[in-house]
Structure 1
Amino acid sequence: METETTMLNTFQQADHPVLPKATADEAARQEFAKSLKGFIQSTLLPGLDPVYRTRARPRFENETGRSANDRRDIRDAMVGDTYFQHYAATNRIAQELLWESVAGSVSRQLPELIETARTLSARSPARLDIPDGFVPPRYVTALDIHCMPGGYCSEVCEDDISVGALYDRGVYLYSMGYTGPNNDDMGRSVCNYIRRNFPDFRPRRILDMGCTVGHSTVPYAEMFPDAEIWGIDLGGPCVRYAHARSAGMGHPINFAQMNAEETSFPDGHFDLVVSHILLHETSGKAMPRIFAEAHRVLAPEGLMIHADLPPFDLMDPFTQFILDNETWYNNEPFWGAMRDMDQIALAERAGFDRASVRFDTAPMAVMEFAGAQKGYSEDAAGSVADREFTAGEFAPGGGWEVLIARKGAAKALAA
């Protein structure tokens, strides 16, 4: 559960045994990369709206004889504008720079990081399953998602954890600290949501699909210490790192290299299946299979919760345009297409009762914590009252959109 001890310094990443340690020069470059992301969010991004309203939209209407109707029209109107080009180029440069600022630090320490990970994993009572001959799907290997060098699955040596270490530090810089000191804000936010909305829910087994380095998995171990918890991911280096990372943080959690489209777990094994910003990194064919697999492995009355950004039909067209820049400029080919899909219908086709499927918002735990520390009152449910948070492109509105579905109760056998 959320505690002051785990979130004392909200905007400084917390250390753990396998986190790469930066030299002074490396730390300065990393801080510059994070600060550049912040400058783009706070200074360049707000300028897009007036540029569109006063310059790009009138030009589009004059040239086409009609109004801009959707995000695609807005993109057509904006893509030739010098200000937008400056924004998009700077954003891409900042993304590449942040990975570069971390990569040297990881390479310099890789042998000792691998040895530390081996030691931690060997001492952990939790399982680590890396099957021989596992082949990840092309939607994660055909390109470096969000421009991270090597993607999630590249291995350069025995027991490699390099892309896991790169991700752990890099995603903190990418989020500008909004994922919290342990990069766990999404998992922590969903745990808080469960605590508030399902106070009597006590899952015996929990599955985190697409866990990457297990950063969002750990809060479930804190909230449900007696539960059997599994994190699965397509990347072998990621789950190796996740296993060592969680052990080093005092939370032995089971991890496996496994495809969420088709796991090896038995039917009805889990009471809670979650994912955190996974769905947009899959594909149009994979996503329905993931929903169906979640339904299969859930026990009767079990919950499926996928945390991501909202579908496009919940946003105005200009916000859609802003977020869709990830599709065009950040190696996120399924980012926009995923948000056009009818996820409620997908859940229904997977076997969930449509009446049990809904979208809701889980407020960002890190922002609630920061607000409470500044003296904002909390209501009985634990959320910050009368406070609206924003975080630019990272989490519009200061919350994670969660898709929630409950599997039906077991049917009684006929007498």
Structure 2
Amino acid sequence: MTTPFQDPKLRQRGRASVDFLAGMAAASGPVRARVDAAIAEKVASPDALPEDLDERLAHMDALLADSPAYPVQQLLGDWHGRMHGRISAEAFEEVEGDLAPLFEAAEQGPATLRLDPDLKAPDYWDGVHFHRTTGGWEGHTHMGYIHGEIIHKKLVGRFFPGGIFQQRRDVAAMAPRESYRRILDMGCSSGHFTTALAETYPNAQIVGVDLSARMLEHAWRTANANGWNWQLSQQAAEATDFENESFDLVASYIILHEMPAHAICAVFAEAFRLLEPGGDMIMSDVTRYADMDRLAVWKADRGAMFGGEPHWRESASLDLEQVAREAGFVDVTTKGPYPYVIQGRKPEA
């Protein structure tokens, strides 16, 4: 379901700028093809690349030093990483006045929002500009809207065959039961996966936590606009204030790569604490490095560096199946490659 305030009608300048961003990414295909051709010529086998990833990055830079397309690809990636947030924010600001009454209306409804002005954000998050978003997730008064409705729907969504939102619905539907009573979305951000959970399990009470106040505000308005009684609060997913055994499903979607390994382990432990006996856990994230060859890992790691993902390597190198079992989960299963989905169950008491 899409409400009017979730479908911004951008002005000509903003729409043209956003379309230019998307078009530039699409038009860079020939550059990528030339780089791939150079790699195919110079790399006989992925297994021949250095085992150490930092050495591999340096080795590939040296190997492709005489490829004219390689620095162009790097320049395009760097420019897109630096500018996508700024351009999207400028496009929003052109229509902010049009959206103001819709925002005000969406602040009335059944959803609740609990912000913590005294929140001490964890070091891995505080001050980090994820995705190279200017100012980070709190860098604009309406960053949740910019991120959720412009960057994701008008940019990122163009490059995912089948749709990034269908992927979220598919993951939500992978939970083993047909219905749940109370669901927690860990790291709910602007509410895209939360929406998939609400649509998949319409009789469940949906609860979401995130560190970003701006993201939570947009999720809150989204819930109100749709008549959903979500309960949203500003908390770290690994250290919530909910009571033991408060949920029968704990879930997350592509949020773990925004955390270092110790925080991810704490998230799984917290999920286990919060689940009632017999409750289900379903988490998803990016493809594991262990499931990729050395060349594919190099591409992913290099892309993460340009994309503003400081914890990607540490996260993608983690064996989430082992983490889940160490947290206490049983019947642990995984499915991949992307999104990589891990499921488990808290044993009956």
CA distance in 2 between counterparts of 1:101 and 1:204 reads: 41
Deviation, 1:119, is 2.9
- 1:331 counterpart = 2:308: yes
Q: Give deviations 1:267-319, integer Å, cap 9, x for gaps.
A: 11111111111001012221111111011001112111111112110111111
Contact 1:185 1:216 in 2 (8 A): no
Aligned match of 1:292: 269
Contact 1:282 1:334 in 2 (8 A): yes
Of residues 150, 153, 159, the one that matches 2:138 is 153
User: Structure 1 stretches of 5 or more lacking a match?
Assistant: 1-5, 7-13, 362-396, 411-415
CA distance in 1 between counterparts of 2:3 and 2:135 reads: 24
- 1:54 counterpart = 2:41: yes
Deviation, 1:180, is 7.1
Report the secondary structure of 2:197's partner residue. helix
- 1:176 counterpart = 2:158: yes
- 1:24 counterpart = 2:12: yes
Report the secondary structure of 1:211's partner residue. coil
Of residues 211, 215, 236, the one that matches 1:234 is 211
Aligned match of 2:48: 67
Aligned match of 2:112: 127
Report the secondary structure of 1:226's partner residue. coil
Contact 1:184 1:218 in 2 (8 A): no
User: Structure 2 stretches of 5 or more lacking a match?
Assistant: none
Contact 1:303 1:404 in 2 (8 A): yes
Aligned match of 2:147: 167
Kindly report which structure 2 residues correspond to 1:75-90, keeping only aligned pairs within 5 A, or say none. 75-80=57-62, 81=64, 82=67, 83-90=69-76
Aligned match of 1:212: 189
Kindly report which structure 2 residues correspond to 1:71-110, keeping only aligned pairs within 5 A, or say none. 71-80=53-62, 81=64, 82=67, 83-110=69-96
CA distance in 1 between counterparts of 2:181 and 2:135 reads: 36
- 1:315 counterpart = 2:295: no
- 1:224 counterpart = 2:210: no
Contact 1:136 1:153 in 2 (8 A): no
User: Normalized against structure 1, the TM-score is what?
Assistant: 0.75
Aligned match of 1:358: 333
CA distance in 2 between counterparts of 1:115 and 1:151 reads: 26
User: Normalized against structure 2, the TM-score is what?
Assistant: 0.89
Amino acid at match of 2:83: L
CA distance in 2 between counterparts of 1:233 and 1:347 reads: 21
CA distance in 1 between counterparts of 2:165 and 2:136 reads: 20
Aligned match of 1:136: 121
Deviation, 1:113, is 4.2
> Quick one: percent identity of the two aligned structures?
25
Deviation, 1:147, is 0.8
Between the two proteins, the alignment pairs up a number of residues equal to: 342
Q: Give deviations 1:185-204, integer Å, cap 9, x for gaps.
A: 3421212333xxx3x44211
Deviation, 1:150, is 2.0
Contact 2:254 2:339 in 1 (8 A): no
CA distance in 2 between counterparts of 1:321 and 1:350 reads: 30
